[in-house]
Amino acid sequence: TLLGSFRLQAAEILAQIDQGAGVVRLTLLVRDTTQDYHLRRRAAEVLAGLGREAAAAPLARLADDTTLLDDFRLHAAEVLAQIDQDASAAHLTRLVRDTTQHDYSRMRAAEVLAQIDRKAAAAQLARIVDITLPGNFRLRAAVTLARVDRKAAAAPLTRLADDTTLDYQLRIRVAGILARVDRTAAAAPLAQIADDTALDYQLRIRIAEVLARVDQESGVAQLARLASNTALDDYSRVRAGEILARVDQDAGVAHLIRLADDTALAGANRLRAAEILTRTDQDAGVVQLARLVDDVTLPGNFRLRVAVALVRVDQEAAAAPLARLVNGTALGDDDRVWAAGILARVTKTPWRPT
pLDDT tens, residue by residue, 6-56 = 888 888 788 888 888 888 888 888 777 777 767 777 777 787 777 656 667
Phi-psi category of residue 231: left, alpha or beta, with phi > 0 → left and psi -120 to 50 → alpha? alpha
Q: Give the torsion through C-alpha atoms of 249, 255, 261, 267, to 10 deg.
A: -90
* More confident site: 32 or 292: 292
Q: Which of 60-69, 171-180, 322-331 has the largest mean confidence?
A: 322-331
pLDDT at residue 313 in the model: 92
Contact 55, 47 (CB under 8 A): yes
**CA 194 to CA 205: how far, in whole Å?**
7
* More confident site: 225 or 77: 225
Closest CA to 227 of 190, 252, 261, 193: 252
Closest CA to 87 of 113, 111, 110: 113
Burial class (CB in 10 A: 0-12, 13-18, 19+), 243: buried
The half-sphere exposure of 215 on its side-chain side, counting CA atoms within 13 A, is 21
Closest CA to 125 of 137, 193, 237: 137
DSSP conformation letters of 323-349: HHHHHSSSS-HHHHHHHHHHHHHHHTS
CA distances (Å), 314 to each of 273, 286, 298, 309, 350, in order?
A: 17, 7, 21, 9, 20
pLDDT at residue 12 in the model: 79
Three-class secondary structure of residue 81 per DSSP: helix
Closest CA to 85 of 119, 40, 43: 119
DSSP conformation letters of 248-291: -HHHHHHHHHHHHH-TTS-HHHHHHHHHHHHHH-HHHHHHHHHH
Three-class secondary structure of residue 234 per DSSP: helix
Using one digit for the tens of pLDDT, what is the confidence trace for 141-162?
888 888 888 887 888 888 887 7
Share of the chain above pLDDT 90, in %: 29
Contact 241, 252 (CB under 8 A): yes
At residue 40, what are phi and psi to the nearest 5 degrees? Answer: -65, -40
At residue 51, what are phi and psi to the nearest 5 degrees? Answer: 105, 165
Q: Which amino acid is located at 51 in the chain? A: G
DSSP state of 192: H
